[in-house]
Amino acid sequence: MSQTVTPELRAWIVAQATAGFAPDAVLRAMVEAGWTEAVALDALEHTLSEHLAQRAPAQPVSQPPRRRASAPADGAASFAPALPQPDLRGAPRLLDAGDREVAVLASLRRPQLVVFGNLLAPEECEALVAAARPRMSRSLTVETQTGGEALNADRTSQGMFFRRGETELIARIEARIARLLHWPVSHGEGLQVLQYRPGAEYKPHYDYFDPREPGTAKITQRGGQRVATLVIYLNEPVRGGGTTFPDVGLEVAPQRGNAVFFAYDRPHPATQTLHGGAPVLEGEKWVATKWLREREFT
Ligand code: PD2
Ligand code: ZN
């Protein structure tokens, strides 16, 4: 079913906001009335930002709790997005990441996602695997119930974390990512390396911390929420091991040196950033994941 945002719906949204209803309550009402959440969210955002632009600044209207996802329209030097993202204005095929040109292989608006080519050189991938290999142990996931870490049956990979800036190689890669995504090195978690053996997988999940879980307040004291993920492929399994996005039926093939980036402007399924690591069917899979936080991560 196609859903059209009519002038009547826009007027209703503005009336709700003016009456002081929180955007989340308006969104809930729309979903209960049969609107697809993503369509409702888009309608809400566009209607309210249009409406705000027409109002005097002294008259506040509540806005959806989202970060500004698009960049200002002026020159490249002033590109300072409110979320990590590459500068895709002008549809470039290659992006300047400081010490390397990175290819834009594919992009999607929702989820906000970009597939990069040539982010790491083959030698950098090999060096990362070699440095990580002796330090691998069964992957833990952050436990939002308690704020601690625990073994998770949905994640059968092995993993380790590098400290930020731990070696020259790590610092170089972090600086490149910061330049590519216009997000400071200080706002990133340490690079995590994962190894999947045949049969290993990472079942679909969100990378943000669920605000409804009791441990989330503690976890987000350091750097706030996660706002984006970059999964870098360090090798190529023979079969299987793609990164899947079930909400949109997308699977990104693991190709050494390439990466998939996705951002989430709020910790909510409407971002459509549900994703997983499909089971490795033959061979091994190695990836490095960089999670970006909204503030400095200390
Ligand atoms: O290895 C992957 O493809 C993958 C899939 C889902 C990695 C992550 N999530 C992650 O590191 O968060
Ligand atoms: Zn993930």
Q: What is the pLDDT of residue 59?
A: 33
Between the CA of 77 and the centroid of ligand 1 the distance, in Å, is: 32
Contact 231/259 with Cβ under 8 angstroms?
yes
pLDDT score of 248: 98
pTM above 0.85, yes or no: no
In short, whether 243's Cβ falls inside 6 Å of ligand 1 is yes
Ligand 1 within 6 A of CB of 43: no
Pocket probe mutation, ligand 1, options 235, 243, 285, 291, max atoms within 8 Å of Cβ: 243
Give the Cβ contact number of residue 2 at 10 Å: 4
Output the pLDDT for position 83. Answer: 97
- Cα 70 to averaged position of ligand 1 atoms, centre (Å): 25
Please tell me if the CB atom of residue 202 comes closer than 6 angstroms to any atom of ligand 1. Answer: yes
Dihedral, CA atoms, 188, 226, 45, 56, nearest 10 degrees? Answer: -60
Question: How many other C-beta atoms lie within 10 A of the C-beta of residue 78?
Answer: 9
Closest approach atom of ligand 1 to CA 207 = 12
Cα separation, 294 vs 267, in Å, equals 12
The strand pairing partners of 118, in sequence order, are none
Q: Taking phi first (over 0 means left), then psi (-120 to 50 degrees means alpha), and beta for anything else, what does residue 143 get?
A: beta
Contact 158, 138 (CB under 8 A): yes
- What's the gap in Å between 291 CA and the centre of ligand 2? 9
What local confidence, expressed as pLDDT, does residue 56 receive? 36
Q: Whose CA is nearest to atom 4 of ligand 1?
A: 277
What does residue 64 show for φ and ψ, rounded to 5 degrees? -60, 145
Structure tokens at 176: 């490149």
Tens place of pLDDT per residue across the chain (298 aa): 456 776 566 655 655 555 445 556 555 566 666 667 666 666 646 554 454 445 433 333 333 345 655 544 444 458 999 999 999 999 999 999 999 999 999 999 999 999 999 999 999 999 999 999 999 987 666 666 666 666 666 778 899 999 999 999 999 999 999 999 999 999 999 999 999 999 999 999 999 999 999 999 999 999 999 999 999 999 999 999 999 999 999 999 999 999 999 999 999 999 999 999 999 999 999 999 999 999 999 9
Under 8 Å between Cβ of 194 and 34: no
Q: Is the CB of 227 under 6 A from ligand 1?
A: no
Q: Whose alpha carbon is nearest atom 11 of ligand 1?
A: 289
Strand partners, 116: 104, 259
- The pair of structure tokens assigned to 91 is 């549809």
In the chain, the amino acid numbered 11 is A
CA of 205 to the centre of ligand 2 (A): 6
| Amino acid at position 105, single letter | L
Among the listed residues 284, 182, 279, the one whose alpha carbon sits nearest the alpha carbon of residue 230: 182
Instruction: Look up residue 220 and give its two tokens.
Output: 């987000």
Number of residues in the chain: 298
Query: What ligand has the least distance to the C-alpha of 279?
Result: 1
231 Cβ neighbours under 8 A, 6+ residues apart: 243, 259, 260, 261, 287, 288, 289
CA angle 272-275-277, nearest 5°? 170
> Could you say which DSSP state residue 93 is in?
S
Measured from the CB, is residue 207 less than 6 Å from ligand 1?
yes
CB of 276 closer than 6 A to ligand 1?
A: yes
For position 57, what pLDDT does the model report?
Answer: 38
Which stretch of DSSP H or E encloses residue 11?
helix 7-18
